[in-house]
Structure 1
Amino acid sequence: MTLADQSAGVVTDGARLLLRHPPYLYYIVSRSFSRFASQIAAVAVGWQIYDLTGSAFQLGMVGLAQFVPMLALVFVAGHIADRYDRRRVVQICQLLQGLTAILLAWGTYAGWITVPQIFVALVLIGAATAFEAPAGSALLPGVVPEGHLQKATALSTGVFQVAMICGPALGGIAYALSPSTPYVLMAAFWLIGGLLNSAIKLAREVAVKDPPSLRTLFAGVGFVRSNPAILGTISLDLFAVLLGGATALLPIYARDILQTGPWGLGLMRAAPAVGALLTTVVLTRYSINRRVGMRMFQAVIIFGLATAVFAVSQWLWLSVAALAVLGAADTVSVVIRFSLVQLATPDDMRGRVGAVNYLFINTSNQLGQFESGVTAALFGTVPAALIGGLGTVAIALLWMRLFPTLRNVERLE
C-alpha cells in the first residue's frame, strides 16, 4: 500500500466516524467554531489593546482578564455541567460569547469602544468559557459510540490543532481588513456553534439530583483525590506543562540564539501544532490498545527529552524537529489522559471532574510561562529550557513510582 493509500484510509476512517454518528459531527463542528473564535480573539483583542494604549502592561492584562473569571467560577461551572443539560449549557455560553463579539464589532466600527469596555467584554468571554469548557468535555463521551472515545478524542484534538494554526492567521488577516472584521467573524462562529448544539441528540441524559451544597460543589475534588489513576493523570499534566514551558522562550531563541528573525519564530511556533496534527491523523486510525498507562508516561518522557534537545540546539532545523516531536508526544499524552479520565469517571461526575482538570490545565499553562520567564531571568535562557525539559522527565519517572495504578493501566475501557 502506498503512502497516499494509507493517508486516504486515515481520512476515510475519520470521515466514516463523523458521517455515521451525526451527534459527534454536530459536536465537533460546534466546538471547532468556538475554538476558531477564541483564537481569532487572542489576536484581535491583543492587537487592538496595544494599538489603543501602546502599553505592554495592558497587553499582559488581556490574559489575566480571562483567567480570573475562570479561576473564580470553575467549580460552579463543573456543578452546572452535571446538574443541567450540557448541550444547553454549551449553547448558552456560545450565544453569550457571540453577543459579546457583536458588541465589540459594533463599538469598534462606530468608534465608541474604550479599553475598559474591551476588558469587560473579555471578562464576559472568560466567564462563558469557564462554563463551556467542562460542559463541552463532559458532553463528548455521550456523542460517540461505545469503544470509539479514543479515536474521537484524537480527531477532535486534530481539528482543534487546525484552529490553533489557522485561527490566529485568520484573525490577523481579518484585522488588516478592518479592526471590526475579526469580531464579526467571532460572532458568526460562536452563534453558528450555538445553533449546531441544538441539533445534538443524546441517547440519555444524566443530571445530579442532590440539592446544591458545598459537598456537591466540590465533589469533583473529592473524587479526583480518591482515585489514584485520575489524580496521577491530572497532576502529571500539571507538573509536566509547568516545567516544560519552553515555548514561552521562543522569541528569545529566534532572535538571540538561532538568529533567524520573525520568520524563524513563526516556523518554530507552528512546529508543535504540525507535529500534533500529524499524530492525531495516525491516532484516528490506530488506537493505543495495550499498556496505555505506560505509553502515557513514555510520551511525557519524550516530551521532556524533546524540550531538552530544543534547549541546547544551535540549528534551526533541529529546533523545529524537536518542537514537532514535542507536539506529537504531547498529543499522545493528551489523548490517553482525556480518554482515561472520561472513562474512569461516572457520567454524573464528568462535569465536576472536568472542571478540576480544566483548572489544572489552565493553571499549568499560565504558571508554566511564568516559570520559564523567571528561570530564564535567573539562570539564562538555555539552562532554563534545559532544566524544564529534564525536570519533566524526572517528574514522569517519579510519578511512575508514586502512581503504580496509573502505570499499570492496560486498556482504555
Structure 2
Amino acid sequence: MFQSLSVRNFRLFATGQLLSVMCTWMMFVAQDWLVLSLSGDSATALGLVTAVQFTPTLLLTLYGGRLADRYDKRKLLILANLAAGLLALLLALVVLAGRASLPVILVFAGSLGAVSAIESPTRMSFVSELVGSDLLPNASALSAAYFNTARILGPALAGLLISGSDSTGPVMLLNALSYLATVASLMMMRTKELQRTGAAPGGARIADALRYIRGRPDLVMPLGLVAAVGMFGFNFALTLPLLAKTVFHSGSASFGLLTTAMAAGSLLGAFAGTARRGRPGPGLVIGAALAFGVLETASGLAPSYALAIPLLAATGFATISFAQAANHRIQLGSDPRYRGRVLALYTMILQGSTPLGALLVGWLCEHYGARSGLYTGGLVTVAAALTALYAHRRTRDRSSSGLPRDVEGAGRGLAGSEVRSRPTERRPRV
C-alpha cells in the first residue's frame, strides 16, 4: 500500500503536500466565513468569490501544462509555491490589520487561482518523475489519500482555530507559512534521482497536444466521462447542505456528519487504489463511472437520514475510484513529452466543468428540491457511462472485423513502453 514511500523524493513531496493541502482547506473555510461576515451572509457574494477563484482554471491551466512540459517541473513548483505563499501572507496581513473587504478578497482569490492553474498540472505530471511509471498508480493513490485526509482534518481544525481566536486571520497566516513546507521538501530532493523525460517537441505548443489527444480515442473516452461526471455529478458542495437542511431538516452538526461520511468513503477508495500496478482498462473506467452514477442516484432517493449516511460513504468511495481510474488511464497512456498538457486538459475539464454544472444543478434544486440535484447527476452519469460502453464495444467490434482499429494499440508508442519499463535516466496543491 505504501510502496511509493520507499522513494525518498516522494516521501519529502508527500510530507510537504499533506501539511500544505490541509492548511489550504483551512484557508477555504476561513475565506468563506470571512466573505459571509463581510457580506451579511450573502450567497451571491460567496458564489462570486468562488467563481473568481476557479475562473483561471479555465483560462490558464492549458498554459500551465505547456510550461510543465517545457521547463524543469521542480523549479516551476518552487516558484509557484513561493508566489502563492507571498499572496497568502499579504492576504493574512490585510485581514489581521482589519482592512479586509470583498473587492480585496476577490483580487487575492483570483491571483491565487491563477497560481494554482500553473501549479496543478505541473504537480500532477511531476509525480511520474519522482517515482517512475511502475509506481505511478500507487503514488497517485497515496496522493488522493493525503488529499482526503487533509479534507477531513483541515475544516475541523479551521473551525476550532476561528472559534478560539474569533478571527480568520490566524488561519490565513498559518496557510501562508505552510507553503514553506512544500518549498523546503522540493529543495531537499536529490535531483539526480528524478526520472526526467526529454524536451517536449515543437516548444510544447498547446495545439500540438490537442491534436495528439484527438488522435487517441483511448484518451478521449475517459476525458469525455470526466466532463460529464464533473459537470453533473460532482456538485456535492451544493447538494449536501441543501439535502441536510431542506430534506432531513437537520442542523450543522448533522450536515457535517454527511460530509464526513463521504470524505471517509473517499479516503477508503484512495487506499484501495494503491493496489493498482498498471494502466487500468477502459472497462474499469466505465464500470467505476457507472457505479458512481448508481450510488449517487440512490443517495438522492434515500428515504431517511440514517440510510443516506452509508450511501454517501459508498458514493465517496466510487467518486475516488472513478477519478483515479480515469486519471491513471489518461496519465499512463500519454507520451511523457505531452503529459503536462494532457493532464492540464484533464484538470481544466474536471475543475472547470463543476462550476458550470452547478448553475443547472442549483436551478434543479431550487425548483424540484435538493434530491433532484443528486439523482439527476447520477442518472446523467449512468447515461454517459452506457454511451461510453457502447462506443467502446463498437470500436472493438470494428477492430476485430478488420476495419481500422482503435488507436489504443498502435498509439501506445512511447507511452506504452514507458509504462512497461522505468526510464534509465536519473525523475489539490489542490
Q: Does 1:344 align with 2:333?
A: yes
Question: Counterpart of 2:370?
Answer: 381
- Partners of 1:356 and 1:205 in 2: how far apart? 20
Judged with a 3 Å threshold, the aligned counterparts in structure 2 of structure 1 residues 241 and 113 are, in CA distance, closer, same or farther, namely: closer
Query: What letter matches 1:263 in structure 2?
Result: A
The equivalent position to 1:255 in structure 2, one of 227, 239, 245, is 245
Q: Does 1:155 align with 2:142?
A: yes
Question: Counterpart of 1:358?
Answer: 347
- Deviates further, 181-190 or 168-177: 168-177
Query: What letter matches 1:90 in structure 2?
Result: L
Judged with a 3 Å threshold, the aligned counterparts in structure 2 of structure 1 residues 279 and 149 are, in CA distance, closer, same or farther, namely: same
- Partners of 1:290 and 1:71 in 2: how far apart? 27
Whether the aligned pair in 1 keeps the contact of 2:30 and 2:171 (CA below 8 Å) is: yes
Question: Counterpart of 2:98?
Answer: 111
Judged with a 3 Å threshold, the aligned counterparts in structure 2 of structure 1 residues 60 and 232 are, in CA distance, closer, same or farther, namely: same
Q: Does 1:141 align with 2:133?
A: no
- Partners of 2:92 and 2:250 in 1: how far apart? 36
- How do 1:177-188 and structure 2 match up within 5 A? 177=165, 178-188=167-177
**Which runs of 5 or more structure 2 residues have no equivalent in the other structure?**
398-405, 410-415, 421-430
Whether the aligned pair in 2 keeps the contact of 1:273 and 1:324 (CA below 8 Å) is: yes
Judged with a 3 Å threshold, the aligned counterparts in structure 2 of structure 1 residues 148 and 38 are, in CA distance, closer, same or farther, namely: same
Whether the aligned pair in 1 keeps the contact of 2:93 and 2:169 (CA below 8 Å) is: yes
Q: Secondary structure at the match of 2:196?
A: coil
Instruction: Give the structure-1-normalised TM-score.
Output: 0.89
Whether the aligned pair in 1 keeps the contact of 2:197 and 2:337 (CA below 8 Å) is: no
Question: Counterpart of 1:81?
Answer: 68
CA shift digits 1:223-270 (9 cap, x unpaired): 222111111111101102322246222222212222332222111111
Q: 1:208, CA displacement in angstroms? A: 2.7
Whether the aligned pair in 2 keeps the contact of 1:34 and 1:94 (CA below 8 Å) is: no
Judged with a 3 Å threshold, the aligned counterparts in structure 2 of structure 1 residues 406 and 185 are, in CA distance, closer, same or farther, namely: farther
CA shift digits 1:135-175 (9 cap, x unpaired): 00111111114422111111111111011111122222222
Q: Does 1:33 align with 2:19?
A: yes
- How do 1:12-411 and structure 2 match up within 5 A? 13-14=1-2, 16-18=3-5, 20-54=6-40, 55-176=42-163, 177=165, 178-200=167-189, 201=191, 202-208=194-200, 210-211=202-203, 216-245=205-234, 247=236, 248-284=238-274, 286-287=275-276, 292-404=281-393
- Partners of 1:154 and 1:83 in 2: how far apart? 26
- Partners of 1:394 and 1:174 in 2: how far apart? 44
Judged with a 3 Å threshold, the aligned counterparts in structure 2 of structure 1 residues 290 and 133 are, in CA distance, closer, same or farther, namely: closer
Whether the aligned pair in 1 keeps the contact of 2:235 and 2:354 (CA below 8 Å) is: no
Judged with a 3 Å threshold, the aligned counterparts in structure 2 of structure 1 residues 131 and 60 are, in CA distance, closer, same or farther, namely: same
CA shift digits 1:364-388 (9 cap, x unpaired): 2212322211222343333443232
Q: Secondary structure at the match of 1:268?
A: helix
Query: What letter matches 2:377 in structure 1?
Result: G
State the number of aligned residues: 395
- Partners of 2:121 and 2:235 in 1: how far apart? 27
**Which runs of 5 or more structure 1 residues have no equivalent in the other structure?**
1-12
- Partners of 1:322 and 1:252 in 2: how far apart? 17
CA shift digits 1:105-124 (9 cap, x unpaired): 21222223333222211111
